[in-house]
Structure 1
Amino acid sequence: MLIGKKILLGVTGGIAAFKAASLCSKLVKEGAEVRVIMTESATKFISELTLQALSKNAVYTDTFDEKIPEKVAHIELADWADLVLVAPATANMIGKMAAGIGDDMLSTTLLAVTAPIMLAPAMNVHMYTHPAVTRNMAELRSRGVHMIEPGVGLLACGYTGKGRMEEPEAIVEEAKLFFARQAKRAALPLAGKKVVVTAGGTIERIDPVRYITNDSSGKMGFAVAKAAQELGADVTLIVARTQVDPPVQINAVHVESAVEMYEAVSARWRETDILVKAAAVADYRPKSPAQHKIKKSGDELQLELVKNIDILQTLGEQKTTQFLIGFAAETDHLEQYAKDKLKRKNCDLLVANDVTQTGAGFGTDTNIVNIYDAAGLVQSLPMITKEEAGLRIMELAAERLAGAGK
């Protein structure tokens, strides 16, 4: 997958810079064309000559050292790359990227890059968990930057913990996986398939100005819908209350209550190939919504609720050839509840997350999910952007559909 690929390797000033030599060598052996940018501090750990010999290309360190007079080097490199890989990525460079600072050759080039970016963080365990660093990494993830999680072990500073740059072999595999997935997307594995995605939180009216709802932002459902469209599907979004607007390029049907959502899904159910129930549907609704605003009177107000239709379970019982994906937002016993929900509701896949985890709750731009099927855990995804999680989910659905011959 790396033959002929243009990889821009950024090397920053941490002790893990010595691994960049092995990484560069392995990328070249896999057939990639590699160009290297080093920060000044990186040259204190490993020489430019080493990476020049391994990449067989000139190494860039100085923004003002224009090796080809008719070209602006940092723009030419930014335009040239199919993938940018920063390994190691120090806390300093991560902070510069998050803030949009360009004060050296690497950070300036990164501001001009339009290709995908992967970072392999490497730093002391306390630096890695510092609030500013975690905030900066979350910001970069939300922009689509892919983080290659560091390993846990003995660090150069003497501490033991998370912060070791991932090994070069594993980083090369990440790069190969990236290009393999690019090829899959280009092949449009969901072309001709009709995908329906529900998103947001339903509203159950108490009176004309009050309602029952939940914290669902709609971001996960929107990410799934965009991924399905990117893979070639004909996508319909059924949207309840959300914190952000739905993607403009996707057909959206707006609903309010659980009943309206069920009706909208049911109307499309027979022609649906994949249904992704990412919406948070209210379990109960007021039995008798008031026609006029309820006036305050007394110290208590009793509200009688009745159960809503369980959309996922109802369609799970009705499905024939449809592929059904459910979601479960839990606060404890994640695996137990996810497996139980998958079985009871006859889902093909169940995507579960613990909303008490930082970066996995409602309204965030990231998620941490486990994906289950009838046999158990299929994939466990670390903290990644919801866009990335949506793509992983829909790629898996496309593989299952292809395997079933649908």
Structure 2
Amino acid sequence: MNGKKILLGVTGGIAAYKAIALTSKLTQAGAQVRVILTEGAQSFVTPLSFQAISRQPVYTDTFDEKDPSKIAHIDLADWADLVIVAPATANAIAKLAHGLADDMLSTTLLATTAPVWIAPAMNVHMYQHPAVLRNIQQLAQDGIQFIEPSEGYLACGYVGKGRLEEPEKITDIVRAYFEQDDIPSSLKGMKIIVTSGATKEMIDPVRYITNPSTGKMGEAIAEEAATRGANVTLISAIKPQTMSSNIEWVNVTSAQDMFEEVMARYSESDIVVKSAAVSDYRPAITHQHKVKKQDGNLTIEFERTKDILLTLGEQKTSQYLVGFAAETQDVLRYAKEKLVRKNADMIVANDITAAGAGFAKDTNIVTIVKKNGEVLSLPLQSKKEVAQKLWAEVEKDVTHRRDLML
């Protein structure tokens, strides 16, 4: 981050006090940080605090032109390598979503061509309000990246999602973003598809068949690929907690939805990682109305869903194909069989019954089985570390394949 220019917008919420710590963390990491305070923010924190920590000018008024040779908000917009709004109130999010420009921060946000990241902070019910969710969705479609709020005790007394992410975590995300340009990676510029999470197969409008997958592993894989410079499409039924600017999230529900979205992009993709826990079966009949309770047992007939990994393997041309295998026994044997049967280049297998592995956990224990015969067993570690090891192995294979073609 040394020498990187970060413009920090601070809006009027109680979490504004954390922005002082964020300024300190970013500055200590070597960044130049300039701050814009809205009028509301100044009710909680003062310009002097940020100026003392950043040793940079602080901006509060669109019409306070400190240098007559420059227009301040245009100059700031051009100066920044990255713009972060933290905390971002519901009002600030709404203004940006609708293109309003009535103060120093909003005019600068419209004028900048730098990446813009939004870190919301508000009451849990405000964060869940349909209008706020619509505005967030609009900004995501516009290419704005969100740093999701965390859950915990809020200033209003509620407990829930709405806390500004901690300054240390935001700093880590910023550091990873800037470091991606320094990582020598053969993935740079590649088009990568990652599938994650559980699919849902509807029985009727109120019931469905699914599994416990939370998408954490797939999200870590997508983020690591993005960090290495790839253009990533994450196809999942679960919205990722954080999402880099070079990740496109495609929302799906059923196995058929996922099949169609993957196949629509497959021919133009370089690598596909199928980490989703896709339903193998779906109800043969989906009832339009709720199935009412009756005496006796209920029998549901199931039919096979399309095997996405098998289809990808059959239609593979030059793509590198990675599959996942969640098992409860004979992990290595099933992984090797799946590798051959699905014509994959790599299978990442794990025993979901092992302590620290499996669904809904932040850690995993996996065995990587490769087409060239290599088997790599990884001990218990974070899913982020697993993702790093996975991409390191993929890069070795992709680079070797490329060298053979030269």
Give TM class, smaller chain: 0.5 to 0.7
Aligned counterpart, 2:395:
402
TM-superposed CA distance for 1:401, in Å, is: 2.1
- Matched residue, 1:206: none
User: Does structure 1 retain, via aligned residues, the 8 Å contact 2:272–2:322?
Assistant: yes
Paired amino acid for 2:393: R
Corresponding residue number in structure 2 for 1:171? 170
1:92, 1:158 → 2: CA distance? 21
Q: Give 1:109-120 correspondences, 5 Å limit.
A: 109-120=108-119
Taking only aligned residues, the RMSD between alpha carbons, in angstroms, comes to 4.9
**Residue 312 of structure 1: aligned partner:** 309
> Aligned ranges for residues 178-327 of structure 1 at < 5 Å?
178-184=177-183, 187-190=184-187, 231=229, 274=271, 312-313=309-310, 323-326=320-323
Gaps of 5+ in 1: 200-223, 236-257, 284-305, 329-333, 351-369, 381-392
Question: Residues 86 and 232 of structure 1: is their aligned pair in 2 closer, same or farther, counting only changes over 3 Å?
Answer: closer
Which residue of the partner structure matches residue 141 of structure 2? 142
1:10-36 residue CA offsets vs partner (Å, 9 max, x unmatched): 000000111111111111111100101
C-alpha displacement at 1:311, in angstroms? 7.0
User: Does the CA-based 8 Å contact 1:84-1:115 persist in structure 2?
Assistant: yes
TM-score, structure 1 normalization? 0.57
Q: Distance between the aligned counterparts of 1:10 and 1:69, measured in 2?
A: 23
The 5 A counterparts of 1:298-377 are 312-313=309-310, 323-326=320-323, 343=335, 345-346=338-339, 347=344, 348=346, 374=367
* Post-superposition offset of 1:398: 4.5
- The 1:198–1:156 alpha-carbon spacing in structure 2 relative to 1, beyond 3 Å, is closer
CA drift of 1:182 comes to 3.6
The structural deviation recorded for 1:124 is 0.6
CA distance in 2, matches of 1:125, 1:309: 39
Flag the 1:397–1:79 CA change in 2: closer, same or farther, 3 A.
farther
Please list the CA deviations of residues 203-249 of structure 1 after superposition, one character each: whole Å capped at 9, or x if unmatched.
xxxxxxxxxxxxxxxxxxxxx9xx89x9589x9xxxxxxxxxxxxxx
Amino acid at match of 2:309: L
What is the CA distance between 1:323 and its match in structure 2? 3.5
The runs of 5 or more residues in structure 2 that have no matched partner are 196-221, 233-258, 282-302, 349-362, 368-377, 401-406
Query: Paired residue for 2:131?
Result: 132
3-state DSSP of counterpart to 2:36: strand
Helix, strand or coil: the match of 1:170? helix
2:107 is the alignment partner of 1:108: yes
SS in 2 for 1:14: coil
Seen in structure 2, the aligned counterparts of structure 1 residues 371 and 89 have a Cα distance that, compared at 3 Å, is farther
- From the superposition, tell whether residues 96 and 345 of structure 1 become closer, same or farther in structure 2 (CA, over 3 Å): farther
CA distance in 2, matches of 1:48, 1:308: 59
Q: Which amino acid aligns with 1:123?
A: M
Q: Which residue of 1 aligns with 2:360?
A: none
Q: Secondary structure at the match of 1:139?
A: helix
1:186-206 deviation per Cα after TM superposition (whole angstroms, max 9, x unaligned): x4523798x79799xxxxxxx
Cα deviation, residue 402, structure 1:
3.0
**Number of aligned pairs?**
285
Q: Distance in 2 between matches of 1:325 and 1:166?
A: 33
Query: Alpha carbons of 1:372 and 1:46: their partners in 2 closer, same or farther (altered >3 Å)?
Result: same
Change over 3 Å in CA distance of 1:318–1:70 after alignment to 2: closer
Tell me how far 1:307 sits from its aligned partner. 9.6
Contact persistence 1:7–1:85 (CA under 8 A): yes
What is the rounded CA distance, in whole Å, between the counterparts of 2:230 and 2:147 in structure 1? 28
SS of the residue 1:177 aligns to: helix
SS in 2 for 1:15: coil
Any residues of structure 2 matched to 1:145-160 within 5 Å, and which? 145-160=144-159
Matched, 1:55 2:54: yes
Judging changes above 3 Å, is the alpha-carbon distance between structure 1 residues 196 and 122 closer, same or farther for their aligned structure 2 residues? closer
Contact in 2 for aligned 1:13/1:44 (Cα 8 Å): yes
SS at match of 1:401: helix
**Alpha-carbon distance between aligned partners in 2 of 1:110 and 1:60, rounded to the nearest angstrom:** 13
Give the aligned residue type for 2:121.
Answer: A
Q: Distance in 2 between matches of 1:13 and 1:401?
A: 45
**Aligned residue in 1 for 2:120:** 121
**1:161 alignment partner, SS class:** strand
Change in 2 beyond 3 A, CA 1:36/1:310: closer
What's the % identity of the aligned pairs? 51
Q: Distance in 1 between matches of 2:94 and 2:327?
A: 36
**Separation (CA, whole Å) in 1 of partners of 2:320 and 2:33:** 42
Inter-partner Cα distance in structure 1 for 2:189 and 2:34 = 40
**Is the 8 Å Cα contact of residues 274 and 324 (structure 1) preserved in structure 2?**
yes
Q: Deviations over 1:258-317 (max 9, x none)?
A: 9xx99xx9xx9xxx9745679x9xx9xxxxxxxxxxxxxxxxxxxxxx999967337759
Instruction: Give 3-state SS (helix, strand or coil) of 1:31's partner.
Output: coil
